[in-house]
Structure 1
Amino acid sequence: MKSDLRSDPLRVASVADMPPALADARASKPPLAHLKSALLWLGRVLLLIAVPLFILILASGLAIAIIRIGGDLRLGIDPFLATAARPRLPLSEVAGRAVAVDALRQVLMAGLVVSLAVWAAGGAWRRRLGLTRPDEARAPMRRLWLLLALWPLIHIAWVTTSAAALNMNFGNGVRLSPFLSPRMLALWFAFVVVLAPIAEELLLRGQTFARASAFMGPAGTIVATALLFCLAHVSLDPGAKSALARPLTLLPLALTLGWLRWRTGRLWPCILLHGWSNFCLVAYQIGPGLLR
């Protein structure tokens, strides 16, 4: 005769004892699993910050070393001469070297990003950086042209408003160094409008966007890359307002570039908007001074 749970004391005891044991096991395992997931996520976030920061620092260090050594050799100066024994450089040389360092840093940064993408993705490195057509249909490109037409008004209005709130001079009438030669002026313009947009977008909306997308949703990826973009533009001036001014003025651009990368699935619209934004802002800032 089959016994039920009420007629079998041993069965009742075993069933009574099992749920607490299972409850204890379930109570102990989920926190460990959550902790492991949290640590893994934190590690990915730290890596997300460390990789672009390392690339930026490495490219900057290499650019400074190359320009200094090359410039010293061109002038017949020992590159390894002690600082106290070094001759004073002409102001035109100092200004020119600063522009050359900025330009070379972008070239080196782009090369490092592409090399890292090739190492990480092999033959699929173009897809990883958003340089190929996406598999899924995305937003039509005609909307991009509307954004390009409206963006100068939006960006300049935000920059001037936020700069005025921080008592910073980001308005028009800004003058370039008078010690820059025409060749260095052309290089500076290429750095602002072409080199910087390409290198920065490869780094942030390319490599970093792909890495963030692996464990973040679209909104988190857009915000993370935008914050890194702003962090990379923090001013080194000691004043707190000046340190925060540039990242604040760039925040709408950073968010828009991230949205554009996600919405189109491609990198070139980000490069185009970034370069166009830089061109319009530079024209607004230095245009009146050039016409005087």
Structure 2
Amino acid sequence: MKPDRVAPLSHLEPPDEAVAGSAQSRASGPDHRGPLDRAWAATWRLGALVALVILYLGAASLLSLAAVRVGFDLWNGIDPFLPPERRPFLGAVELAHRAFAIDALRQVFLAALVLGGAWWRDRSGWRRRLALDRERPNGMRPVALLGLLLVWPVLHIAWVTGTAELFGASFGQHVRLSPFMSQAAVAAWLVYLAILAPVAEELLLRGEAFARAGAAVGPVGAILVTAIIFAAAHISSWGLARPVSLLPLALALGWLRWRTGRLWPGIALHGWSNLALVTYLLWPG
């Protein structure tokens, strides 16, 4: 299968619309279906998209749980298949290390699953599908992108802390690290927040999910759908407070993915926002 060649785009033409619109229209021709049929088809495809995201997240979680359970047990000389009543007490430090390892490995497995799935689906165009190629020019000037990267963390911190105060949640207040975390563990945790999580989440949502949603409802719909999925995935014991606090970031990441036609700017913004917020929350004061 030969990869599609896309003509150079002007800076006034949204890159994803050109790729999705021209390629699909040439392949399928005019759509003569009625409004109800098109709405039903779009709803079906979005439902399949949500199911796929859940499948990816569930598979990554199961793989990370199994890997940490077996790996840590073998490292500590414990039979990983012992029944719960015969397992030795692990202690708070060991449990904290295992919990962090599960979170980190989940992101690694998630990224690998998304990359592998895209490659299996289209071996010649998987980079373009995930917005990892450089065939199209960046639709955003470097100075504008740099300005956004510098200004956005301030807006993100203000919104998150304001939302936490409005909902009476503690995630936007000054927090403290666990006393069981060593300096190496803290450094690994920061790498997880600034690199691992942004890469895996952007590959899934603004990569694979954005491509599928864009084919069903267009770029504006893809921005909204991936933002809602991103926010919903962060529902926690604080109810809707956490999703609401992340919704502007999710919308900005989707817009950046569409405007630039690439995934790397969103990964950079996501990681930089995480790092800036954590630094603000941990700053003594």
* TM-score for the superposition, normalised by structure 1: 0.83
In 2, Cα distance between equivalents of 1:201 and 1:280: 18
Check whether the contact 1:172–1:288 (CA below 8 A) recurs between aligned residues: no
Aligned to 1:6: none
Check whether the contact 1:129–1:206 (CA below 8 A) recurs between aligned residues: yes
Check whether the contact 2:131–2:207 (CA below 8 A) recurs between aligned residues: yes
Check whether the contact 2:161–2:173 (CA below 8 A) recurs between aligned residues: no
In 1, Cα distance between equivalents of 2:175 and 2:54: 30
| Worse-matched range after superposition: 67-76 or 170-179 | 170-179
Check whether the contact 1:201–1:267 (CA below 8 A) recurs between aligned residues: yes
Paired AA for residue 284 in structure 1 = Y
Please give the per-residue CA displacement for 1:108-138, whole angstroms capped at 9, x wherever unaligned: 0000000111112212111111111253661
Q: Percent identity?
A: 51
Q: Please tell me whether Structure 1 or Structure 2 has the larger radius of gyration of its CA atoms.
A: 1
Specify the SS of the correspondent of 2:132.
coil
Specify the SS of the correspondent of 2:124.
helix
Check whether the contact 1:133–1:265 (CA below 8 A) recurs between aligned residues: no
In 2, Cα distance between equivalents of 1:206 and 1:185: 29
Please give the per-residue CA displacement for 1:7-60, whole angstroms capped at 9, x wherever unaligned: xxxxxxxxxxxxxxxxxxxxxxxxx95554333222101111111111011001
Check whether the contact 1:172–1:286 (CA below 8 A) recurs between aligned residues: no
Check whether the contact 1:100–1:187 (CA below 8 A) recurs between aligned residues: no
1:243 to 239, 243, 247: 239
Aligned to 2:265: 269
Paired AA for residue 277 in structure 2 = L
In 2, Cα distance between equivalents of 1:243 and 1:70: 34
The CA deviation at 1:193 is 0.6
In 1, Cα distance between equivalents of 2:244 and 2:158: 13
Mind listing any 5+ residue stretches in structure 1 that lack a counterpart?
A: 1-31
Aligned pairs, number:
253
In 2, Cα distance between equivalents of 1:137 and 1:281: 28
Aligned to 1:37: 38
Q: CA RMSD, aligned part only?
A: 1.6
The CA deviation at 1:248 is 0.9
| Worse-matched range after superposition: 272-281 or 146-155 | 146-155
In 1, Cα distance between equivalents of 2:91 and 2:138: 55
Decide which structure has greater helix share. 1
Aligned to 2:180: 179
Mind listing any 5+ residue stretches in structure 2 that lack a counterpart?
A: 1-32
Paired AA for residue 50 in structure 1 = A
* TM-score for the superposition, normalised by structure 2: 0.85
Paired AA for residue 245 in structure 1 = A
